Structure formats: structure tokens, C-alpha cells
Amino acid sequence: MSGSSFGKLFVVTGFGESHGPAIGGVVDGCPPGLELAAADLQRDLDRRKPGQSRHTTQRRESDAVEILSGVFEGRTTGAPIGLLIRNEDQRSKDYSEIAERYRPGHADYTYDQKYGVRDYRGGGRSSARETAIRVAAGAIAKKYLAVRRGIVVRGYLSQLGPIRPQGFAWDEVDRNPFFWPCAATVADLETYMDALRKEGNSIGAAVTVVASGMPTGLGEPIFDRLDADIAHALMSINAVKGVEIGAGFGCIEQKGTEHRDEMTPDGFLSNHAGGILGGISSGQDVIARIALKPTSSLRLPGRTINARGEATEVVTTGRHDPCVGIRATPIAEAMLALVLMDHLLRQRAQNADVRPPTPAIPSAPLT
């Protein structure tokens, strides 16, 4: 594959299949001296882990992470940090169905085409199980960003099928199993999801991630712009089909006078740019939004072909998330944190001595 690493200076490498003995990874490039313990990673792993409510997959994994290296006497040493999570609930079942038939909308067919062989148990490498390692690695980045730089990375579910929040409060996000920022509409989500589950169908969603307390100067034009690397990071999450920064697709119908974020000595007056100008952070909040497709693992039958190329039908039994967007919030936070961490290191490599002519000005408030 050789596509299993992310980042240039803060580099995460992952491995592991859904139903293998373990998943794991390596975080290389973490600055030395950071206080770090497994508990720091576990918090976010627990937010991501399956079976937290009836609205996500009922697979039971404790997702207990072990730090195998790179930490000494409670602090990072600058050496690579080895991470390991044993798989526990690889339910023994009969996989002959999906071993032989390509679930439409799934990676089954493309893996067979690419590799000629496929670990079909639970989706193998294409399962979102690997995202646990992203979350663990992202938690290290989040901690460094917060403790050393005051940068806070947070996210929330910003749309579930047709339902949008009616209000917004960060405090609400961790009070419901959806990462939903609006208490008034949580019941709507519950009702919608219960009906969906009964129907045997799935639904798309959107997740928004925000980094506040941003410094100026992160991003390396012309190709490794901050927004380009964020797009790469977020689009690499399973099921993501779109990424937008700030006004995003809304800017198609904006005029220049409307889109440009005016500046005053007291701060920016708006944030259509989503905190990035010319590929470089402006000091405004970085705001990105992703679209997640509905999972294709459905118990409603679909037309497909089998491994001999013949027409057939397939249904997917087993335990699946009817809305993969729900558990995607901590994953998207992790990926944003990884990008920011990498760019923080890159920025100080090259521009350690720079003194900007102008003091940075505050971000417009998140609306």
C-alpha cells in the first residue's frame, strides 16, 4: 500500500484489520518533554468507540490503548511513540456471503481489483476500525496544541440527513450521543434514527470541525497549503465525499464584496475564508465541514456481482452504523489536529526567526 502514513514532520503510520489480532501505529516526530499518558488518548478513543448508544454499531471493543515507547517518566522523549490496541470482539461468523459477493458501494470490489486478495472479515483493512489509531494519534496532537499553544480543536455533527441544528452551543455537544450542538433537536435525531434502523436503511451526515486560538502563518504554499492538507486529511476518512473550508460551496453564489473578510485593528469582521488566506492561517478560527455518505452495509438487498463476475444480490447482516457520520466527529477532530500539528512544526522549521511587521488581529466570532 505504502499510503499508510500521514504527515511530514509529525508522522502517523497505522496498521491493522478489523478482525485481525490488533490495530496499532507509530507517531513519529512528537516534540520531547510533553506530559503524556495512555489516559490522554483514551478519552478520545472512548468518544469514538462503538456501542456507546443504540444508534451506533453494537460491536463491543474496549479500545484500550497501550503506549509501547517514546514516553519516559511521564514525558515524551522525542522518540517514536508506538501504539497498540488489541481487537476483542471479532465475532466468529460465517463470512462466505461477503467473501464471494461484492457489496455495492463498498470497497470489496476495488480491493479485489487492486490487490487480487482481500481480508474480507469485517471489511479487513477497509473497515473504519483503523480510525481508532487516528484518534489516538490525534489526541497526542490535540494535547500538544492545547497545552503548548492554546489551540483548541473541536467538532460537532452539523447535519444528519434532513435535520439541522436549530441553535448552537459547544456545551451541548458532549451531552448527547450524536455530538449535536443543539439540545432542542436531539429528540428529532432519536426519532429519525429509530425509524431508519427499523427500515434497515442508512443516512448521510455532515460534521464540522473548528480550531480556535490559531496562530497566523501555518501552511506551506503552493501545494502544501493548510487548506489543501486539511482537505487531504479529511477526505481520507472513510465515507467522506466532500470537504469545504469556511463558506465552502456557498461561495459559488457570493460576490467579492460579500465574501472578503474585512479587517480592523480590533479583528476580522467575518470569517468566510474559514481562517485560511492564500493557503496560510490568518489567525481566525479554522472551520472545515465534511459530507459523509450513508453506509452501504444494509440488510435491504442490492444488485451486485460475485467474484466470478456473475449477477447476484447481496444483503449485509452483522453490526453496522446506520449513520457513520455520528462517530466521525472525534475522527475529524483528530485529523484536523494532525494537520495543524504537522504545520506548526513545519512553520517553525522555516520561519523560526521571522518577526511579522504587524501584530496579529483577533478572529471574528464563530456564528
Site string for its own copies, 59-88 (x = CB under 8 A): -------x-xxx-x--x-xxxxxx-x----
2 Cα distance to chain centroid: 20
Q: Which residues contact 263 (CB under 8 A, 6 or more apart)?
A: 269, 361
127 Cβ neighbours under 8 A, 6+ residues apart: 17, 18, 238
Residue 165 in the binding site for its own copies (CB under 8 A): no
Nearest approach, Cβ of residue 274 and its own copies (Å): 7
Q: Which is nearer to its own copies, 171 or 264 (CB)?
A: 264
Site for its own copies in 98-117 (CB under 8 A): 102-107, 109-117
Q: Which is nearer to its own copies, 113 or 317 (CB)?
A: 113
Q: Is 118 annotated among the ligand-binding residues? A: no
Count Cβ atoms below 10 Å from residue 222 Cβ, excluding itself.
Answer: 8
Torsion from C-alpha of 234, 235, 241, 246, nearest 10 degrees: 50
Position among 280, 331, 332, 337 found at the interface with its own copies (CB under 8 A): 280
State how far the Cα of 315 lies from the Cα of 109, in Å rounded to an integer.
15
4 is in an annotated binding site: no
Question: Smallest distance, Å, CB 179 to its own copies?
Answer: 15
The answer to whether 218 and 336 have CB atoms below 8 angstroms apart is no
Closer CB to its own copies, residue 171 or residue 253? 253
Contact pattern from residue 124 through residue 143 relative to its own copies, giving x for each residue in contact according to CB under 8 A and a dash for the rest:
xxx---x-------------
The 323-362 site mask, x for binding its own copies (CB under 8 A), equals ----------------------xxxxxxxxxxxxxxxxx-
Instruction: Select from 96, 171, 198, 253 the one that contacts its own copies (CB under 8 A).
Output: 253
Q: Answer yes or no: is 125 a known binding residue.
A: yes
d(CA 66, CA 79): 16
Q: How far is it, in rounded angstroms, from Cα 97 to Cα 248?
A: 41
Strand 71-72 to 5-6 pairing:
unpaired
Query: Applying CB under 8 A, which part among 43-51, 135-143, 177-185, 259-267 lies near its own copies?
Result: 259-267
What grid cell was written down for 305? Answer: 456481482
C-alpha span between 64 and 347 (Å, rounded): 34
Site residues for its own copies, 7-46, by CB under 8 A, read 8-11, 13-17, 20-26, 28-29, 31-33
Beta bridge partners of 277: 280
Distance between CA 68 and CA 29 in Å, rounded?
Answer: 15
Q: How far apart are CA 134 and CA 130, in angstroms?
A: 7
Look at residues 257, 249, 260 and name the one whose alpha carbon lies nearest to residue 282. 260
Residues numbered 188 to 247 that lie near its own copies (CB under 8 A) are 196, 201-206, 216-217, 219-225, 227-236, 238, 240-247
Nearer to its own copies, 171 or 356 (CB): 356
Rule CB under 8 A: is residue 300 a binding residue for its own copies?
yes
Q: Is 1 in the site for its own copies (CB under 8 A)?
A: yes
332 is in an annotated binding site: no
**Which residue positions form the known binding site for NADP(+)?**
48, 54
